[in-house]
C-alpha cells in the first residue's frame, strides 16, 4: 500500500511539472546554422515566455530522433549579459522518446515566473551528420556534401515567430530546399523565414547539397598521458590516430599531379595544434621517427605547432603520430601542506573544428599518493578503474586515474581537478634508493681493499712496494731539483743583461742552500732503500754523483758568464764554451731520466 502511494505521488509531481513546462512558449527564435566546417553548428537564440500561472525552473531543448545520435555538444547561456557574466547553464540529457526525440533539460538561473520572459542562447554541435555525395571523388575533383535537417526550430513548445539563417563555406550549391517560402539566397547564406505560429514538434525536411572543401579531419583514437612529478615538471604525451573523413579518393594517387596542382581541393596537407604557453621540449614523431617538417611558433597566450604529415591526407587516408611536451608544475599543481590539487585541461586543441571520436586520458600521480578524488569538467565523462604505472625506481607503482569519453569537441577543452594526499618526506624515497646502495657498495669496496686475503706473507711484494714509494719520492725530488736549476738559469740570464753581480750572488747563495737541503733528502732516501735493495741504493748514489757533476758544470758556466760581463772573455769563446756545457747538461739529464725509469 505504501509503495502504491509513493508511485501515485511521483506521477502527480511529474504531471504538475509537465503542465508547468507546457505553459512556456517561444515568442521569438533566431536560428543560425553554420555548415562551414565538417561539424554542423547551430546557435539558437530563443526568447521564452511563461504564460502559465506557476513559475518554471527548466527549459527543454529537443533533438529529433534522426539526429539524436550525432549530437556531440549542447550548451546554453542567458543572452544579453556581459561576456564575463555568461556562465554556462546546467544541461542534463533526459530519457529518449523514439517518436519525439531526445530531450536536453536546461536549468534556468532563476525561476521564470508567470508573465516573465528570458532569452537563451543554445549552442548545438553535430558530429558525423554530413553525408558525402558523391562518396568517392578523384584527386582533382571538388568535394560535395549533403545535409538534411528541419526547416523549423524543433521544440516541445509552440513558436510565435522564427527565422533560420544557413551559412555555407562557398556560394556554390548544387541544390537546396526552396520551400517553405520565404527563402532567400545571398552568396554564402540562405535565409528561411520568418515563419509565424509554428506548432510544437513541427517537422519539415530541409535538404542542402553544397560544396565543402574544408579539412574533414577526425581523430579516431586519442590517448593522452599526463605524468605529474613533484620535482617541478608535468610531462604530457598524446598518441593520435587521425583520418580524413571526407569523400574517399577514387583511383590511384599521383604525386606528379599533386606537385603540379597544389590546389588539391579536398587534401589536407597541414593543420595547427595549440599547446599551453609554457610548453617546452616539444617533440613530434611517428613510427619512422622524428618528423622534421613541423614548425613551432611561440605566441603570447599559446604555443602553436604546425603539424605536417609525411604525405597529404585524402578521403579515407589516415596517419598516426605522437606529440609530447613538458610544462612547469607550479602553474597547474597547488598544495597546502600534504594536500595537493592538480588543475589542468582534460584535452588540448588538436586542430580547428576538432572531432575526437574516442579519448582516453591517463593521469599518472606520484608514487605513494593516496585519498585520490577526481572532479570532472562540467560535462559527463566515464572514469574507468584506476591502474598502476611502473617506471624508474618505483617500488609499489604510481596510481593512474583513467578517464574516457567519446565525441569530444573544442567546447570540451575545460579543466579537471584531482585532489590527493602526498607526504613530502616521500620525495626522498627515490633518491635514497640510489644513495643507500651506492653508499653500501663504496663501504664494501673500502673494506675489501684493506683486507689481505693472501695465505702466506709475501715479503718480496712488500719490498717492491716500499722501493716504488721511495722512487716516487725520488721523482718528486728530481722535479724540485730541475726547478732550482731553471731558477739559476734565469738568474744567470738576468745577470748577463743587468750586470748586477751583487743580486746574482745573493740569489745564487740562496739556491745553493736549497740544493744542500735537497741533497740531504736524497741521501736520506738512499739510506732508507739500502735495507731493501743494494741495487736501488747504488742507483740513488749514481743520481747524487750526476747531480754533483751538473752543479760543477753549472758553476763553471757562471764563471764564464762573470768573465764575459767583466770583459775578460770574448763573446765567441763564451758561446762555444756554453754550447759544450749545455751538451753535457743534456747528457746528465738523459742519464738521470734513465735512473728514474728503473722502478
CA distances in angstroms from 342 to 226, 373, 420, listed in the order given? 11, 10, 9
Contact 383, 374 (CB under 8 A): yes
| Strand 136-137 with 248-249, pairing | parallel
Residue 337 clears pLDDT 60, i.e. is over it: yes
d(CA 307, CA 297): 12
Residue 385 clears pLDDT 60, i.e. is over it: yes
pLDDT > 70 in the chain, percent: 94
Of 279, 282, 283, give the one whose Cα is nearest residue 301.
279
Residue 5 clears pLDDT 90, i.e. is over it: no
Residue 554 clears pLDDT 90, i.e. is over it: no
Contact 499, 565 (CB under 8 A): yes
For the chain, give the mean pLDDT.
Answer: 89
d(CA 314, CA 255): 12
Residue 2 clears pLDDT 70, i.e. is over it: no
Q: Which pTM does this prediction carry?
A: 0.72
Helix (H) or strand (E) holding 226: strand 217-229
Residue 564 clears pLDDT 50, i.e. is over it: yes
d(CA 308, CA 269): 6
Q: How many Cβ atoms from other residues are within 10 Å of residue 258's Cβ?
A: 17
- Map out the domains of the chain with their CATH numbers: 20-211 (2.60.40.1730), 217-427 (2.60.40.1730), 459-596 (no CATH)
Alpha-carbon Rg for the chain in angstroms:
46
Residue 518 clears pLDDT 80, i.e. is over it: yes
Residue 9 clears pLDDT 80, i.e. is over it: no
pLDDT > 90 in the chain, percent: 59
What DSSP character marks residue 293? Answer: T
Q: 3-state class of 100 per DSSP?
A: coil
105-148 pLDDT, tens digit per residue, is: 999 999 999 999 999 999 999 999 999 999 999 888 899 999 99
Q: State residue 559's pLDDT score.
A: 85
Q: 3-state class of 261 per DSSP?
A: coil
For the record, the C-alpha cell of 198 comes out as 509554428
Residue 567 clears pLDDT 50, i.e. is over it: yes
Going by pLDDT thresholds of 50, 70 and 90, the confidence category of residue 500 is confident
Residue partners of 331: CB distance under 8 A and separation at least 6: 276, 278
Amino acid at each position: 500500500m505504501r509503495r502504491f502511494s509513493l508511485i501515485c505521488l511521483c506521477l502527480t509531481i511529474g504531471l504538475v511539472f509537465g503542465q508547468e513546462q507546457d505553459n512556456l512558449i517561444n515568442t521569438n527564435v533566431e536560428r543560425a546554422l553554420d555548415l562551414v566546417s565538417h561539424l554542423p553548428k547551430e546557435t539558437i537564440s530563443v526568447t521564452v515566455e511563461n504564460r502559465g500561472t506557476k513559475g518554471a525552473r527548466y527549459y527543454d531543448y529537443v533533438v529529433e530522433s534522426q539526429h539524436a545520435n550525432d549530437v556531440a555538444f549542447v550548451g546554453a547561456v542567458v543572452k544579453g549579459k556581459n561576456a564575463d557574466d555568461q556562465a554556462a547553464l546546467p544541461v542534463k540529457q533526459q530519457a529518449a522518446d523514439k517518436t519525439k526525440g531526445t530531450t536536453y533539460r536546461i536549468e534556468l538561473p532563476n525561476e521564470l515566473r508567470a508573465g516573465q520572459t528570458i532569452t537563451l542562447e543554445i549552442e548545438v554541435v553535430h558530429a558525423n551528420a554530413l553525408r558525402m555525395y558523391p562518396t568517392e571523388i578523384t584527386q582533382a575533383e571538388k568535394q560535395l556534401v549533403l545535409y538534411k535537417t528541419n526547416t523549423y526550430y524543433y521544440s516541445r513548445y509552440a513558436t510565435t515567430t522564427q527565422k533560420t539563417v544557413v551559412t555555407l563555406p562557398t556560394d556554390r550549391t548544387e541544390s537546396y530546399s526552396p520551400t517553405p517560402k520565404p527563402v532567400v539566397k545571398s552568396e554564402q547564406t540562405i535565409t528561411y523565414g520568418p515563419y509565424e505560429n509554428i506548432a510544437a514538434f513541427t517537422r519539415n525536411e530541409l535538404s542542402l547539397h553544397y560544396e565543402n572543401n574544408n579539412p574533414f579531419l577526425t581523430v579516431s583514437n586519442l590517448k593522452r598521458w599526463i605524468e605529474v612529478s613533484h620535482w617541478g615538471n608535468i610531462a604530457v604525451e598524446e598518441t593520435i590516430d587521425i583520418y580524413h573523413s571526407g569523400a574517399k579518393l577514387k583511383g590511384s594517387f599521383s604525386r606528379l599531379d599533386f606537385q603540379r596542382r597544389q590546389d588539391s581541393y579536398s587534401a589536407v596537407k597541414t593543420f595547427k595544434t595549440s599547446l599551453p604557453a609554457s610548453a617546452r621540449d616539444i617533440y613530434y614523431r611517428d613510427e619512422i621517427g622524428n618528423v622534421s617538417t613541423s614548425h613551432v611558433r611561440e605566441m603570447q597566450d599559446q604555443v602553436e605547432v604546425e603539424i605536417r604529415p609525411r604525405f597529404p591526407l585524402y578521403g579515407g587516408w589516415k596517419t598516426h603520430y605522437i606529440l609530447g611536451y613538458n610544462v612547469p608544475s607550479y602553474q597547474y599543481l597547488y598544495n597546502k601542506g600534504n594536500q595537493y590539487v592538480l588543475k589542468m585541461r582534460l584535452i588540448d586543441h588538436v586542430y580547428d573544428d576538432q572531432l575526437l571520436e574516442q579519448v582516453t586520458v591517463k593521469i599518472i600521480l606520484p608514487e605513494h599518493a593516496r585519498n585520490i578524488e577526481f572532479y570532472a569538467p562540467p560535462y559527463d565523462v566515464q572514469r574507468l578503474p584506476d591502474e598502476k604505472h611502473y617506471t624508474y625506481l618505483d617500488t609499489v607503482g604510481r596510481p593512474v586515474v583513467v578517464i574516457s569519453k567519446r565525441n569530444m569537441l573544442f567546447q570540451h577543452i575545460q579543466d579537471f581537478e584531482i585532489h590527493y594526499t602526498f607526504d613530502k618526506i616521500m620525495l626522498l624515497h627515490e633518491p635514497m634508493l640510489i644513495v643507500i646502495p651506492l653508499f653500501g657498495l663504496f663501504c664494501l669496496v673500502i673494506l675489501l681493499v684493506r683486507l689481505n686475503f693472501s695465505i702466506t706473507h709475501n715479503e718480496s711484494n712488500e719490498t717492491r712496494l716500499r722501493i716504488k714509494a721511495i722512487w716516487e719520492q725520488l721523482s718528486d725530488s728530481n722535479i724540485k731539483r730541475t726547478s732550482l736549476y731553471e731558477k739559476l738559469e734565469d738568474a744567470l740570464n738576468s745577470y748577463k743583461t743587468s750586470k748586477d753581480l751583487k743580486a746574482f750572488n745573493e740569489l745564487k747563495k740562496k739556491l745553493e742552500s736549497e740544493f744542500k737541503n735537497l741533497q740531504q733528502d736524497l741521501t736520506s732516501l738512499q739510506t732508507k732503500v739500502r735495507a731493501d735493495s743494494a741495487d736501488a741504493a747504488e742507483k740513488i748514489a749514481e743520481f747524487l754523483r750526476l747531480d754533483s757533476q751538473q752543479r760543477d758544470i753549472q758553476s763553471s758556466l757562471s764563471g764564464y758568464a762573470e768573465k764575459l760581463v767583466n770583459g775578460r772573455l770574448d763573446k765567441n769563446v763564451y758561446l762555444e764554451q756554453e754550447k759544450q756545457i749545455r751538451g753535457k747538461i743534456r747528457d746528465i739529464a738523459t742519464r738521470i731520466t734513465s735512473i728514474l725509469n728503473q722502478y
